[in-house]
Amino acid sequence: MGSLEHANWFMRVLFFALSAVIVASVLLAQRGRAMFIRRIPGLTAIEEAVGRATEMGKPIFFSPGIDGIGITTLQALAILSYIVRLAAARMTRVLVALRDSTVLPIAEETVREAYDAAGRPEDYRPDDVRFVSDEQFAYALGSVGMMAREHTATHFLFGGFYAEALILTENGRALGALQVAGCPDPVQIPFFIATCDYVVIGDEYFAASAYLTREPTLTGSLVGQDIGKAVLVALIVAGIVMATVLGGGTPIVATLLGKGG
């Protein structure tokens, strides 16, 4: 049984400092402090992509990736909720293909609540949220089958993707769909850039719910994570200077890089 590795004192300090920065930003935003978020083209394109499907009178396809329940998938479901609200208001169907059965009940609830929130609970169809297969390539082919049979006009792929990503997006492209993808894994991003119309890159993925909803709590969290990034960059520069001047084997440098305990 692999117990988790444990944090050393530096990681504890860093984690609590970063968490404090994020929570402080959230509190400031909740008290009305205006926060600026730069434009993210991939997320701005969501509305245009939903509109395209509505104009063509065809459904939308959404995949939350092939990961199980985790931070990446939860973020994908938050984006799904936004997309379904937009689509429901315009009477456009959203087909959701799932690989992990643990995600199924949460995705069903997300879609149902989004239809409720859009004031169209009667438009919710249980068949539109489908568990396809828990096998990676069977899932990819099943999803491509859904795209082809239902003549989907827009494809959203947000979540954890691996080798199946190209099967989904290349076929989606061949079908003439407008494709918007987002994945936190840097390895998959080039494949999406090559095959999709808009791509949400790296940490933009985790900015999605804040960007789309502009709710103060989420916006504050986003600004907090940007401050945290600046802190980390400063620490990296400090580490480079220390390792260069003092040497990598110096006790302070070795301690910071050392094992948990």
Site residues (CB under 8 A) for other proteins, limited to 29-58 = none
What is the widest separation between alpha-carbon atoms in the chain? 68
* Token code pair at residue 79: 């984006």
> Site residues for other proteins, window 113-172 (CB under 8 A)?
113, 126-127, 129-131, 134-135, 137-138, 140-141, 145, 149, 163, 166-167, 169-170
What string marks each residue from 182 to 221 as x (binds other proteins by CB under 8 A) or -? --xxx--xxx-xxx-----xxx-xxx-x---x-xxxx--x
Q: Is 244 in the site for other proteins (CB under 8 A)?
A: no
> Binder to other proteins among 63, 92, 110, 152 (CB under 8 A)?
110
Q: Is 17 in the site for other proteins (CB under 8 A)?
A: no
Q: Please, which residue, 55 or 119, has the CB nearer to other proteins?
A: 119
Minimum CB distance to other proteins, residue 253 (Å): 19
> Binder to other proteins among 63, 92, 152, 225 (CB under 8 A)?
225
Q: Please, which residue, 33 or 55, has the CB nearer to other proteins?
A: 33
**Cβ–Cβ under 8 Å, residues 50 and 60:** yes
d(CA 255, CA 222) in angstroms, rounded, equals: 31
d(CA 208, CA 186) in angstroms, rounded, equals: 17
Q: Please, which residue, 42 or 224, has the CB nearer to other proteins?
A: 224
Burial bucket for residue 176 (CB in 10 Å: 0-12, 13-18, 19+) = exposed
Give all strands of the β-sheet with 60-65 in edge-to-edge order. Answer: 129-131, 94-98, 60-65, 154-160, 178-183, 198-201
d(CA 245, CA 249) in angstroms, rounded, equals: 11
> Binder to other proteins among 4, 34, 245, 252 (CB under 8 A)?
4
